[in-house]
Amino acid sequence: MAEERRSRSTEAFYGRRHGKTLRSRQASSLEAVLGKAKIDLSMPAPADLKTLFPAPVDGVRMEIGFGGGEHLLHESGRFPATGFIGVEPFVNGMAKMTMALEESPRGNLRLYNDDATRVLDWLPDASLDGIDLFYPDPWPKKRHWKRRFVSTVNLDRFARVLKPGAKFRFASDIDTYVNWTLAHCRAHPAFEWLAAGPEDWETPYEAWPGTRYEAKALREGRTPAYLTFVRGKGPLGFPPSTVAGRYA
């Protein structure tokens, strides 16, 4: 699993940023809502990340690549006392989110429309209660595997910003990416896979609303997997334990 450890100066963002041309209403919504909700990384991160939100919150979670925002909107409405940071560089996805927020504003939701690693590097140590990464680009060709978001360097980032006991959740319908993620997380000293049997990765998360990407996968006959990893205690966490019924 050897892979080159990239530095900030050598890292590159992979993925689409633009799709169809935005309609005028989408463009105006994007400008108005994102102008207020976007995190300003030119300013130092607050020592207490909860102060980042207009509404009072008692914890902060992050969703990387929220797509059309189905899950992020659902969770931020379901947990109004939790702050959410949503990252989506794809302009059309962000426009869907901002239009939804015009209809239903959220004081517990902040947004960022560029590379998620920049937010991760900006965040204080042990400041997040959870990270969600659902249906990321699988980059199926072997020569492109280095572009996958799950990597040793990004797991190092997760380990730094997650509180001990916080969870990293990953969902995908691509078996090779599921196995890739398991291999990387099992090899990382900070993460433990929470699974005792097949039902743990075959069953969607509690109150799972689904996403349009998942619906497409199901229509095309692919079966999603839902993985949950916990951040271990201490600076390096603890090594993965042997868990019965591993995903194979």
Q: Which residues are catalytic?
A: 137
Copy the structure tokens of residue 181: 């993620």
For strands 162-172 and 225-231, give the pairing: antiparallel
Contacts for 174-181: CB closer than 8 Å, 24+ residues apart: 174/138, 174/140, 174/222, 175/225, 176/138, 176/140, 177/136, 177/138, 177/148, 177/150, 178/225, 178/227, 178/247, 179/247, 179/248, 180/145, 180/148, 180/150, 181/150, 181/227
